[in-house]
Structure 1
Amino acid sequence: MEPFAVVALSLFLGALILLIAAVVSGSRKSLPPEGGSGEEDSKVSNGVSEKNVASKKQKLLRSRKEKLQQHVFTHPLLATSLKGHSANISCLDFSSNGKYLASCADDRTVRIWSTKDFLERDHRCMRANIELDHATHVCFSPDSRAFITWLANEETIRVFKMIKKDDGSFTFTAAPEDFPKRHKAPIVNIRIAETGKFIMSASNDTTILIWDLKGEVLATINTNQMNNAFATVSPCGRFVASCGFTPDVKVWEVCFTKSGEFREVARAFDLKGHSAGIYSFAFSNDSRRMATISKDGTWKLWDTDVQYKQQQDPYLLLTMKCDISDSCRIALSPDARVVAISNGFNITMHNAKTGRQEEEFLNVHGEEIADLAFDINSRFLVSCGDRAIRVFHNVVGYHAVIEEMEGRLKKATTDAMRERLQQQIDDAKSALDAVCTKKQ
């Protein structure tokens, strides 16, 4: 065969093979796979992908919304919920004049609430910003014109002055200098003595510091309790007390001379009777009663109106069993008629005379309860744990007043005494009726 003919035949066969391959490829593309057309399958495939993406986005948005949503809690005795913080609240404190409630949170603010607005629809709130830090504890000064905070990052005390404006609101000014850093462990509490003579700060090792108002350390107390779970200053301003790993509460008197100069810290008395470490304790307003709660599963009420300088020990008045957890706290109403206990997310209220539980609030906060306190008039109990402050009517206190005054009325010997007691009964009943009316 001629070379030209061979080349021509090769080109022809190559072209024929390419043509056949193109036809087969095109026919495969035009044929739908089993179950439907290629176009429909493409749409279904894209649709599934889009649904998966949309579903993931919805779940993400839902989780973000859940994080932003406040924990929902309702109860007939809930007077109100104070909302304003954007992060969890760690500490609450009422001013000595009863007009304000201070709260601090992880959102770098301290908020001052007006107590007279508790029963109103709107709640006034003034904000003090904590620059480049946040406060874990807050405490009013005795004159209600300043407050101190413990700074989480700086690990020190900062003082804020409250300057009242013409419209009744406040401006807040931080002191030029913070207190020096002296603690070597995390803080469990800070307080100012009602006398205005000293400030206490306690860390969770075994250290309590007594400061003057200018930031100088007057004394260091070693509690010898292996650790401090809680510490505070008595409402009378004379005593500092602490509890921890050991099954007792240790109480010291902070002594000053008649001219007001610091003299010493002297051991006053101990509360002994629990069989395990103590989580928390509280004083009544006159410091004549104390309540304690322990790992042994009991709470106790004590008479601390004793001649401790003559070695007289406090009297144990009551021991009651209770549910306990690592986050237990106890509060004693200023008039010593009611004991409130927080256990994790729940709160119980007890008659301090009989010990009986009269109220229970379940799942009060979305986080474990961080603080628990009565207002100075024993009208309300407040708690915090998440971003809201719960304010409860103290109906247990009203019942206790009525019960106590009716008992005294039967023994009254003069008309003036009977009239006074009857007035107290009527006032308590009126307050109770007002609460019950709003509940309905």
Structure 2
Amino acid sequence: MEFGAILALSVLIGALVILVAVAVGRQKGELSEQNEQKKDTDAPVEENAVKAPSKKQKQQQRPRKERPQQHTFTHQLLSSVLKSHSGNVTCLDFSSNGKYLASCADDRTIRIWSTKDFLERDHKSLRANIEFDNATFVRFSPDSRAFITWLSNGETIRIYKMIKKEDGTFNFKAAPEDFPQKHKGIVINIGIAETGKFIMSASVDTTIVIWDLKGDVLATINTNQMTNSHVAISPCGRFVASCGFTPDVKVWEVCFGKSGEFKEVARAFDLKGHSAGVYSFDFSNDSRRMVTVSKDGTWKLWNTDVEYKKQQDPYLLRTVPCQVSEGSRIALSPDGRVVAISNGCDIAMYNANTGELEKEFHSVHSEEITNLKFDINNRFLVSSGDRAIRVFHNVTGYRAAIQDMQIMLKKASNEGMRQRLLQQIVDAQTALDTVFNAPKN
């Protein structure tokens, strides 16, 4: 009995020893595995190996914002695509001498392009950096030697001088002081009069401010249109016009004395005829014609060459149905022969003399079109709506010019006039033929 008890106790002790050994072995195995993982983590990373970030590092790392793919658009009438901006283009403006196109974007830059390069394969530009801010609008001065900008964060106007260097390029020098802050609402446009006498800024809250070139306020206008959708200075430099929630366009004259002193802002005339709010408007280069596009689904052409001081109203020349959407833009070619209208990402081009729809371009940009501009020589139409600027041949303008000159040729009273018209017709037809026969890049 005593021997059996001892044997049982020995078996029990042996079992306990085995269990303890197994437990210790497992613990050693786990520690060994953890040490191996630590060794792998602490080991130097080979040239092609990727080090896994820790949990803390993952929290500190910001997700990389992927750059959106450049929108592709092709068309026979597309002359060129200007691509240097890394952000969405917010404004376009041609210089009055026809040599330059200015563009600004939300990448904190303004770029100056040479219009003579529009037909070339490469399109270089000069860059002006906007430190710690974005320029949402840019406008050339009348002499094409400076430009003004609206600063998004600073909410003010800044003037830059363009200093020409020996190699033909420019340095850009900002004025010592910006204009004071005066607007409470979001600014929707700025401009500088071709006369060089005043600068305009306008906000969505129906306010228009008229400044002198030093940044002093000359006058403030309340448009009383509930909201402003577009405001601009006429190319002649005499008028400021606005449109918005109401179905009319209001036009004021900014008056100066004979010695150049500011006198007043006087109401000139209204464009009345739309049945809903007006999205946008534009002038011909001589300010004798205006076009408007409205929420009512029409665009209208007006003769504004009237004696408004004698209460003569502008003449409505044409009403044409069109496709529109919130934010539609309209542009009138400088010679008054072509109307371009944006509808979302699409562009339609009309003959202004006949109202006929001649060209449509679909999905021109990846986002809604924000700018439509004709160059001063009526050769190109430019648009923006994403990071690229697209330049189109104005073939509608060439055709309209040929039609007009053929009519004038029939009425020519002397041989000299006939010969000039014949030569102009040949030149326009040659330009038209060149566009369609040009090799594609």
* TM-score normalized by the length of structure 2: 0.88
Is 1:167 paired with 2:167? Answer: yes
What residue number does 1:12 align with?
11
Residue type of the alignment partner of 1:278: V
Q: Whole-Å Cα distance in 2 between the matches of residues 388 and 298 of structure 1?
A: 28
Query: How far 1:69 moved relative to its partner?
Result: 2.1
SS in 2 for 1:419: helix
2:390 aligned with 1:394: no
1:277-326 Cα shifts (integer Å, max 9, x gaps): 00000000000000000011110000000010110000001101111111
Task: Tell me the amino acid that sits aligned with residue 312 of structure 1.
Answer: Q
Alignment of 1:400-419 (within 5 A): 400-419=400-419
CA contact (8 A) 1:253 1:266 kept: yes
Matches within 5 A, 1:249-264: 249-264=249-264
Alpha-carbon separation, structure 1, partners of 2:13 and 2:411:
125
| Aligned counterparts of 2:327 and 2:171: Cα–Cα separation in 1 | 35
Task: Tell me by how many angstroms 1:366 deviates.
Answer: 1.1
Q: Which moved more, 1:67-76 or 1:422-431?
A: 67-76
Q: How far 1:385 sits from its partner (Å)?
A: 1.1
Q: 1:354 to 1:19 in 2, by over 3 A?
A: same
Instruction: Give the C-alpha shift of residue 404 in structure 1.
Output: 1.0
Distance 1:224 1:20, change over 3 A: closer
Give the match's secondary structure for 2:407. helix
SS in 2 for 1:422: helix
| Contact residue 77 and residue 439 of structure 1 kept, 8 A | no
**1:142 equivalent in alignment to 2:138:** no
Q: Is the alpha carbon distance of 1:439 and 1:302 closer, same or farther for their aligned partners in structure 2, counting shifts above 3 Å?
A: farther
Q: Deviations over 1:231-285 (max 9, x none)?
A: 0000000000000011000000000000000000000000000000000000000
Note the C-alpha offset of 1:10: 3.2
| Partner Cα distance (1:312, 1:127) in 2 | 47
Report what 1:193 is aligned to.
193
Give the 5 Å matches for 1:74-85: 74-85=74-85
Task: Give the match for residue 242 of structure 2.
Answer: 242
Q: By how many angstroms is 1:408 displaced?
A: 1.4
Deviations 1:111-147 (A, max 9, x none): 0000011111111200000010000000000000000
Partner of 1:432: 432
Query: How far, CA to CA, are the matches of 1:347 and 1:239 in structure 2?
Result: 28
| Structure 1 residue aligned with 2:57 | none
Q: d(CA) in 2 for partners of 1:178 and 1:282? A: 28
**Count of aligned pairs between the two proteins:** 401
* C-alpha distance in structure 1 between counterparts of 2:316 and 2:17, whole Å: 105
Cα distance in structure 2, aligned partners of 1:224 and 1:383: 30
For residues 359 and 13 of structure 2, the distance between their equivalents in structure 1, rounded to whole angstroms, comes to 96
**AA in 2 matched with 1:203:** S
**In structure 1, distance between residues paired with 2:100 and 2:91:** 14
Q: How far 1:417 moved relative to its partner?
A: 1.3
Partner of 1:350 in structure 2?
Answer: 350
Shift of 1:11: 3.0
Structure 2 counterpart of 1:316: 316
Of stretches 248-257 and 362-371 in structure 1, the one that deviates more from structure 2 is: 362-371
1:361 aligns with 2:361: yes
Residues 35-65 of structure 1 show CA distances to partners (whole Å, capped at 9, x for unaligned) of xxxxxxxxxxxxxxxxxx9xxxxxxxxx966
**1:31 aligns to what?**
none
Distance 1:328 1:373 in 2: 13
In structure 1, distance between residues paired with 2:15 and 2:305: 115
Task: Name the SS for the 2:182 alignment partner.
Answer: coil
1:179 matches 2:185: no
Other-structure match for 2:46 = none
Question: Equivalences for 1:224-303 in 2 at 5 Å?
Answer: 224-303=224-303
Task: Letter of the 1:349 partner, please give it.
Answer: M
Seq. identity, %: 70
**C-alpha distance after superposition, 1:72-93 (max 9, x if no partner):** 1110000000010000001000
- Where does structure 2 lack aligned partners over 5 or more consecutive residues? 23-51, 53-63
Code of the residue aligned with 2:281 in structure 1: it is F
Could you say which residue in structure 2 is the equivalent of 1:91?
91
Compute the displacement of 1:181 (Å).
0.2
TM-score, normalised to structure 1, is 0.88
C-alpha separation in 1, matches of 2:127 and 2:115: 15
- In the alignment, residue 291 of structure 2 is paired with which amino acid? A
Distance in 2, matches of 1:228 and 1:360, equals 28
Structure 1, gaps ≥5 residues long: 24-52, 54-62
Quick one: distance in 2 between partners of 1:389 and 1:407?
A: 36
Query: Equivalents in 1 of 2:93, 2:251: separation in Å?
Result: 22
State the alpha-carbon separation in 2 of the partners of residues 413 and 152 from structure 1. 56
After the TM superposition, which residues 195-214 of structure 1 pair with which residues of structure 2 at under 5 Å, given as runs?
Answer: 195-214=195-214
Q: In structure 2, how many angstroms separate the alpha carbons of the residues matched to 1:94 and 1:72?
A: 24
Question: Residue 33 of structure 1 corresponds to which residue in structure 2?
Answer: none
